[in-house]
């Protein structure tokens, strides 16, 4: 990626090295079901119990190991530039639509963190909390992305951030609240299907950012798109379930299959049209 023209965002909150005390999250719909699903898939259930949080689709990983300080600083700069790029892009898109883009904060943390959506461990992966409009990420996650999930490359790393920012855009547009209201009145299968549509739309919105930023500032290099599409495929529900337990249960999908995630991310990148990101129409998600 070429990020020389992208300014580093100032909306970075660095909490690395802080110790946090675990608190019990409360509320939410279907608490027992959520806990069982969380334990089955291997992520911290308290991350989901307060709602309005969208997590990256990664099962529990071994406890993260600290990276070299120089590498950490380099990654912090990279993350800040990617976030700055999303700020610039979405501010311009919102302005063109007569709206104001409210920039989110990206929180860097180590091992565990407390958010307005509850306590989360690094093993749960990056996530967006709508209650405080913040994206949370432990930079050691990128090592797992490269090594455990075979998704190397700087654009693969940028895709993860852009996807979470996609959730922020959904939050600003009121989409997230509408989906959560529908989920609260739905059964488990219907709630999962709505979650899939929300996640696939965030993938498409991540593609919109890449398309716009490349047209305006030529950020993509040869092979970048393939890196991003590979990352989207590697975190598809079918592949994640296959890794975790050896078989696939489509009814349990919450983020979309590898094929779906690739399709919607590609749609955003190639089309660059927000109207093409309607995953909530009456047609089946494919």
The three-state (H, E, C) secondary structure of 196-249, written as one string? HHHHHHHHHHHHHHHHHHHHHHCCCCCCHHHHHHHHHHHCCHHHHHHHHHCCCC
Average pLDDT over residues 263-274: 96
Average pLDDT, the chain: 86
Helices 237-245 and 31-41 pack at an angle, to 10 degrees, of 70
Q: Is pLDDT larger for residue 102 or for residue 40? A: 102
* pTM to 2 decimal places: 0.85
Residue 56: which pLDDT band, with cuts at 50, 70 and 90?
A: low
Residue 49 in this model has a pLDDT that exceeds 80:
no
Residue 59 in this model has a pLDDT that exceeds 60:
no
pLDDT of 282:
58
Residue 80: which pLDDT band, with cuts at 50, 70 and 90?
A: very high
Give percent of the chain above pLDDT 90: 76
CB of 46 closer than 8 Å to CB of 114? no
Q: For residue range 192-232, list pLDDT tens digits in order.
A: 999 999 999 999 999 999 999 999 999 999 999 999 999 99
Q: For residue range 1-39, list pLDDT tens digits in order.
A: 999 999 999 999 999 988 776 643 333 333 333 333 333
Average pLDDT over residues 251-261: 95
């Amino acid at each position: 990626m070429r990020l020389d023209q992208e300014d580093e965002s100032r909306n970075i909150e660095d909490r690395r090295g802080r110790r946090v005390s675990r608190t019990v999250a409360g509320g939410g719909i279907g608490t027992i079901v959520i806990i069982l699903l969380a334990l089955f898939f291997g992520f911290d259930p308290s991350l989901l119990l307060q709602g309005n949080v969208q997590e990256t689709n990664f099962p529990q990983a071994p406890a993260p190991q600290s990276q070299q300080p120089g590498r950490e600083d380099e990654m912090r700069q990279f993350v800040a530039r990617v976030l700055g790029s999303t700020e610039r892009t979405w501010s311009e898109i919102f302005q063109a639509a007569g709206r104001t883009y409210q920039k989110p904060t990206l929180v860097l943390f180590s091992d565990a963190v407390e958010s307005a959506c509850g306590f989360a461990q690094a093993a749960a992966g990056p996530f967006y909390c709508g209650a405080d409009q913040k994206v949370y990420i432990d930079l050691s996650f990128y090592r797992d992305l490269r090594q455990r999930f075979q998704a190397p490359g700087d654009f693969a790393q940028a895709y993860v951030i852009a996807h979470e920012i996609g959730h922020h855009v959904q939050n600003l547009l009121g989409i997230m609240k509408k989906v959560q209201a529908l989920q609260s009145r739905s059964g488990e299968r219907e709630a999962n299907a709505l979650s899939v549509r929300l996640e696939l739309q965030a993938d498409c919105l991540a593609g919109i950012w890449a398309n716009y930023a490349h047209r305006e500032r030529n950020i993509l290099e040869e092979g970048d798109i393939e890196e991003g599409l590979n990352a989207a495929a590697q975190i598809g529900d079918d592949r994640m379930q296959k890794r975790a337990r050896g078989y696939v249960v489509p009814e349990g999908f919450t983020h979309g299959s590898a094929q779906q995630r690739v399709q919607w991310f590609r749609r955003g990148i190639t089309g660059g049209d927000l109207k093409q990101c309607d995953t909530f129409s009456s047609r089946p998600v494919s």
